[in-house]
Amino acid sequence: MKLLEGKKALIFGMANKRSIAWGIAQAFHQHGAELGFSYAGEALARRVQPLAESLGVSFVEPCDVADDAAIDQVAQKAKVHFGEIDILVHSIGFANRDELQGAYYNTSREGFHLAMDISVYSFTGLARAFQPILRTGGSLLTLTYYGSEKVAPNYNIMGVAKAALEASTRYLAYDFGPQNVRVNAISAGPIRTLAAAGVSGFKTMYRQFTEFAPLPQEIGIEDVGNTAVYLCSELGAKTTGQVIYVDSGYSILGVPTPREKTE
């Protein structure tokens, strides 16, 4: 059964074949959606173009979400290419690498602003720019992480940013409700992507994840893709403003404990 037949989806945040955005793109494609991709800058074109071609995607546009004019431009181009769209996926996050280690209180004002701008404001900015061409029954979707709710050592400013992103999801859901556009977030467990590469402590956390989680299974980009399909399809009708967990149940734990050590 194809759940997204006739729907047009624009996906932001593709970097390479490990990107969560790519997992979502593949799942949407399998479910019959017509796709468009946007990526951060020309440095990524070489990686994104072949992925787009492999799914027959012709709308592939750069957009630095720090730039209002760039957001307006991609919205204008999408209007020309698609007319209206049904789905917009925001799979973007960024903080300075040096703020993702050590004490949170060392976050600089500039680093704080940058992380909030790229990881939080951009979702709201995109929502505003695309509002006129979002079709009724459509969906906005963003990606978040459990470090928004509980302390994940080193996640620091990104945890604060994800908390604000989740709050934005609720306010946007309220705003877009009358237009019958739903707004949700997927909270994914740790996945080895570019954004996780070289992050201090990620390896340990990744290894422990499957020892602790209710389901002793790693999270893949295809798992996030499948949940994105459900949320953005008719199956997700009446769900808006929510954070849906794709985390093998990790977030239900009060006392994460390695299973080997339980009797």
Catalytic residues, by residue number, are 145, 155
Minimum CB separation of residue 161 from ligand NAD in Å reads 9
Comparison of 32 and 198: residue with beta carbon closer to ligand NAD: 198
Nearest distance from residue 169's CB to ligand NAD, in Å?
A: 12
Binding site for ligand 0WE (CB under 6 A): 93-95, 97, 100, 145, 152, 154-155, 158, 190, 195-196, 199, 201-202
Q: Tell me which residues touch ligand NAD (CB under 6 A).
A: 13-15, 19-21, 40, 44, 64-66, 91-94, 118, 143-145, 188, 190-191, 193-196
Q: Which does 64 bind (CB under 5 to 8 A by kind): ligand NAD, ligand 0WE, none?
A: ligand NAD
Q: Residue 167 to residues 17, 21, 56: CA-CA distances in angstroms?
A: 29, 22, 35
Distance CA 12, CA 126 (A): 10
Closest listed residue to residue 68, CA positions, set 128, 135, 132, 114: 128
Tell how strand 34-39 and strand 59-62 pair up: parallel
| For ligand 0WE, the closer CB: 77 or 192 | 192
Residue pair 140/91 in contact by the 8 Å Cβ criterion: no
Least distance CB 18 / ligand 0WE (angstroms): 12
Least spacing, CB of residue 89 vs ligand 0WE, in Å: 15
Contact partner, 157, from ligand NAD, ligand 0WE, none, Cβ < 5-8 Å per class: none
- Which CB sits closer to ligand NAD, 119 or 240? 119
14 binds, among ligand NAD, ligand 0WE, none (CB under 5 to 8 A by kind): ligand NAD
Nearer to ligand 0WE, 17 or 79 (CB): 17
C-alpha 49/C-alpha 47 separation (Å) is: 6
Query: In 10 A of CB 69, how many CB atoms?
Result: 8
Q: What does the alpha-carbon distance between residue 127 and residue 121 come to, in Å, rounded to a whole number?
A: 10
Minimum distance from CB of 91 to ligand 0WE (Å)?
10
Tokens 């990526």 -> residue: 39
Instruction: Specify the residue, 18 or 135, whose C-beta has the smaller distance to ligand NAD.
Output: 18
Amino acid at 36: G
Enumerate residues 6+ apart whose C-beta is below 8 A from 216: 210, 248, 259
